[in-house]
Amino acid sequence: MTQAQASAANSQLHKLLVQVAGEQTAADLFTMIKVEDVLLVEQAGATVSRLTLAQAMNMLLFAKNLEAVPEGKRYVADKLAAGGQVVFDHGALRTVAAANTGALPQGELAFKRFLEPLGFAVADVYPLPRLKMTGRAYCHQDAPEQVAQFFVSELHVDQFSPAFQAAVNNVVSTSRDPLSAADKALLATLSDNRELPFADAASLLPKLVGCFDVQHATPALADYHTLLQESAEMAWISTEGNAFNHATDHVADVFATADELRAKGQPIKDKVEVSASGRVRQTAFKAAQVEREFIDADGQCVSRIVPGSFYEFITRDRYTDEAGNDKLDLRFDSSNAQGIFKMTAAAC
């Protein structure tokens, strides 16, 4: 066992993942995802910090995305076989700011309520006018360069037609809240103390992962088509809910990665998106095509093939800030984001 492997095995993060997901899954996660030393606090105390809990959630969410995206799973398997690891940069999800979202808080509030207790804070806001959405980057305050960010986008239903708004209401008004009163009490404790007793952290972790899922009832096919006419993003939400729209691997040279995958015949985006600063460059696999159920006009369950989630690649440069500090450019770019979102626009 190497020193790095020993540090991981003796960490509170490893202990928590073993408790929740089992020995083999924990081992696989540490093999797959690069985990920085700052996240490997030893199993000294009986509590779990918000930083450790946030990292455990992120690792489980990354693995969940791979199960939804076969191309991403194959890419990661090839990377591991070549002796590499994934540097998990960020995960993206979509929310709906509608008048009635059932038992689920509206829009980004469904995630802000637990991302903030976990130590994340909004680093910047990104208008996405072409999509009638707003994106918010949640960055971890304790280890911003070591913990994957969340790009939480919110669709503004009031900017669409009455027919569209009615279809949204039909879909999301049935939403349940995946967090119980006991879960919310634990989050309040975490917010106050920045840590939880180990048993409470282990109880809360799978509930947090469960927030990244579909919370509403099976949509009507007619509503799906109505949504698709005005917003591919909302149509996607109607079938995929709050699942990771994509997970992102930080690579050394996204252009080289894209060229290599394209040469292998992989379904990679034609264009690399480059930020206005030039320091952030992104591309992605095209969305997985998935079979989803709908309710037809006769009340019967029917299946259709629609776009699912995808896997993204990003390169971020370092820069010197105004105070002379060397930093990784953790920002996003509205134009980049809107370009990347097109990965799920082609419905079948």
Torsion of CA 231, 285, 21, 195, to 10 degrees: -70
What pLDDT score does 1 carry?
Answer: 47
* DSSP conformational letter for 325: -
CA distance 185 to 73: 36
For the chain, 348 residues long, the average pLDDT of each consecutive 10-residue run is 65 96 96 95 82 98 96 96 97 96 98 98 95 97 97 98 98 98 98 97 98 98 98 97 95 96 92 92 94 97 96 95 90 80 63
What pLDDT score does 335 carry?
Answer: 81
CA distance 173 to 215: 10
What is the pTM for the complete model shown? 0.95
What pLDDT score does 5 carry?
Answer: 59
Beta bridge partners of 315: 281
What pLDDT score does 179 carry?
Answer: 98
CA distance 66 to 23: 19
What pLDDT score does 338 carry?
Answer: 76
Residue 183 phi/psi, 5-degree rounding, is -60, -45
SS3 194: coil
Q: 296 with 221: CB under 8 angstroms?
A: yes
What pLDDT score does 222 carry?
Answer: 98
Q: 92 with 150: CB under 8 angstroms?
A: yes
**Pairing verdict, β 310-316 and 246-250:** parallel
What pLDDT score does 52 carry?
Answer: 97
